[in-house]
Amino acid sequence: MISFTPLTDVDSMLLILSKISIFGGITEELRSEVFKRLEIGFYKKGEFIFRTGDEPTHIYIVKTGGVDLHIAAEKVILHKKELGIGECFGEASLMSMHPHTASAVATEDTEIIVLSRHALNQLRHENPALFSLLLMNIARELARRLKTTDDILLHYFHDHMKGSS
């Protein structure tokens, strides 16, 4: 298991972090409350960040490198999404408190910024308004992803039904 260390150079990350949807609408003062809780970890190419079935512990943000999210069942692997710099993942499992439904693998040597479940719970007690805003932003992001999934399914079934008539 990778150990994470505190993110000390937050200033170099402000541009990336300010563009991440889960931090949207948060003032600079409140953003610094979140940023001081962030940590960083390093993964080598091909290394798993988490696997399907693992218990969720963090929200992950790609700082450098890339990550492939995929779902595997029996002998089939479905590549869900390739993630690049500034993209966030893992929040759905963390919020649902269910094991990860996908695996995340570094596609190259990759730095990952994380917000741990513990840090999120600290925010809940220390700054309930900020915690609520983060959860609302996470819920919005998950709703966008659900709509994208719905659109993909509708497109697939529309094409499939058209082909069978």
- Looking up residue 72, the CATH number of its domain turns out to be 2.60.120.10
- Structurally, the chain folds into a number of domains equal to 1
Q: Is the pLDDT of residue 7 over 90?
A: no
Q: Mean of the pLDDT values across residues 133-156? A: 84
State the Cα–Cα distance between residues 162 and 55, nearest whole angstrom.
41
Question: How distant, in Å, are the alpha carbons of 11, 19, 60, 152 from that of 40?
Answer: 14, 18, 9, 33
Cα torsion 45, 6, 129, 124: sign: positive
Q: Mean of the pLDDT values across residues 157-161? A: 75
Residue 20 sits in which domain range? 5-164
Which pLDDT value is given to residue 97? 82
Cα angle 47, 50, 55 (rounded to 5 degrees) comes to: 155
Burial 105-130 (b: 16+ CB within 10 A, else e): bbbeebbbbbbbbebbeebeeeeeeb
**Is the pTM of the predicted complex or chain greater than 0.85?**
no
Q: Mean of the pLDDT values across residues 4-33? A: 78
Strands (E) located in the chain: 5-6, 39-43, 48-50, 58-64, 67-73, 76-83, 88-89, 103-106, 110-116
Which pLDDT value is given to residue 53? 92
State the Cα–Cα distance between residues 80 and 100, nearest whole angstrom.
13
3-state helix, strand, coil in the chain (%, to 5): 45, 25, 30
Contacts made by residues 73-81, CB under 8 angstroms, sequence distance 24+? none
Which tens digit of pLDDT belongs to each residue from 73-115? Answer: 777 677 678 888 888 899 888 888 889 989 999 999 999 999 9
Which pLDDT value is given to residue 8? 76
